Chains A and B, each alone.
Chain A
């Protein structure tokens, strides 16, 4: 199986966010909100860190 780095991030963020959403909140509506929040943080954090590394190198 071959994945790009970004698709690996997306898969990791998607599945981890589902588990975090279900386990860290009690109400279904809040689970979805927290899961979406985690997903955005995972992906956004990775993109931010990638740009940071780019600017450190250049």
Chain B
């Protein structure tokens, strides 16, 4: 049974700046690994940046589909939300017309999955930076 003393010990002790966790979350979403850079964890930031950006561009190189905002098929909506997780990479893909509007070869379906998963992994990385900043994750 948790006593009041142990319950108090679970409260994060590192509350230096109340805006830091939110900044890490936002920066990590916009640029892969940026949240970890803000927390002075450059090696992790670099590995996350390299992995997520590589997955995204492998997907583009495999002629993966870039989803548009839509209210049609459920899988299209989920695909859009997944790719939106890549932050600025998704914005650049839309701006510079990277990728394809539809899947035309079998490998392009893999490409689409690479891009969606890059976005989802970026969200995981941004949430990890948020957890590190607010003390929920130890180190």
Q: Measuring CB to CB, which residues of chain A are less than 8 angstroms from any residue of chain B?
A: 1-3, 5, 8, 11-12, 15-16, 18-20, 22-23, 26-27
CB-CB < 8 A to B61: which residues of A?
A: 1
Of B47, B113, B117, B127, the contact of A22 (CB 8 Å cutoff): B47
For B139, what are the chain A residues with a Cβ–Cβ distance below 8 Å? 26-27
Distance in Å from the Cβ of A46 to the closest Cβ of chain B? 12
Using C-beta atoms within 8 Å of the partner chain, give the interface range for chain B. Answer: 20 to 34
Interface residues of B (CB under 8 A from A): 44, 47-48, 50-52, 54-55, 58, 61-62, 107, 110, 113-114, 117, 121, 124-125, 127-128, 137-139
Describe B's contact surface by its main secondary structure: helix
Q: Are A19 and B62 in contact (CB under 8 A)?
A: no
